Amino acid sequence: MTYEWNTLNKKQFANEGAFFQLRGRMTSIGEKTTPGSTSLNRSIEIADHTWFQASLRYDNYFLKTKHLKLGYGIHAVISNMPFFNNYTVSVVNAPVYEPILEMRTLFLPEFHAHSFAGIGSRNAISLRSNLDLRLEAYAFQPYQELLKTADNKVEYGKPLDKRYFLTSGGVVFHSPIGPVSLHVNYYDQRKNPISVLFTAGFLLFNPGALD
C-alpha cells in the first residue's frame, strides 16, 4: 500500500516543489540457493521468508528566491526483513539509501540496512534559468549494520554503532532533451571516497521486485 504526492518541477535534479511517499508492504517469498564452484557448502538450500516493511520519503524545496533554492530530504525505513542464505544476497535485497544520483549505479553495501534513517540538505543556485549549481550533503544512520561473517553469512552490528556522511557538488544544465550534469561526490569512510560523474539525459531503471 502506497500513498504518494509529487509537486517537484523536474524528474531529475528538481529545484522546486515537494515529494511525499508513505509505503507499507508485506512480502512473502521463496529462496533457493544453488552453490557455485567456489562455495564451501555444496548442498542446495531452500527457505521461505515473510516480513513487513514501512518506509517514508519526503523532499521539500522550502525556500525559493530568484537565484537560490533551499531544500531537504528525509528517508526512513523500518523492517523485520530476515537474513538470506549469504551476505551478498542479504545486502542486495535490503532497503538502500540513495539520495545521490550516482549511488543508483553503484553497489555500496554500507548504505543498505533493514532499518535506517537518512536526512540531508539539497540546495540549488540558479546561475541562469536552465543552469544550476547544486550543493548537497547527507547523513545516513543504519539501526544495525549488515556485517559479513567468516563463512560468508551475515550478522547484525551493534545498534547505532556507525553512521556515514556523503556530499555532492556539481553543475546541471537543463537542456530541451534532458539534463546534462557534472558532479563530484564524496562518500565517507570508503577507500576511494571521491568520484566524478558526468551524465547526459536521464538515468532510468526498472523498479526491482523488493523496491
Q: How far is CA 107 from the centre of its chain?
A: 10
Mean pLDDT of 137-144: 98
Answer whether residue 171 is part of any domain. yes
Tell me, what amino acid is at 113?
Answer: A
pLDDT in tens, 32-83: 888 777 766 778 889 999 999 999 999 999 998 989 999 999 999 999 999 9
| pTM for this entry | 0.90
Give the 3-state secondary structure of residue 102. helix
Answer whether residue 77 is part of any domain. yes
- What residue numbers bound the domain in which 106 lies? 2-26+48-200
Which has the closest alpha carbon to 190: 108, 78, 72, 91?
108
DSSP secondary structure string for all residues of 46-99: EEEEEEEEEEEEEEEEEEE-SSEEEEEEEEEEEE-PPP-SSHHHHHHHS-B---
CATH code assigned at 93: 2.40.160.50
Answer whether residue 41 is part of any domain. no
Question: What are residue 129's phi and psi, to 5 degrees?
Answer: -65, -25
Q: How far apart, in Å, do the first and last CA atoms of the chain sit?
A: 13
Q: Is the pLDDT of residue 200 over 70?
A: yes
Answer whether residue 103 is part of any domain. yes
Answer whether residue 34 is part of any domain. no
What's the structural domain count of the chain? 1
pLDDT in tens, 82-104: 999 889 999 999 999 999 999 99
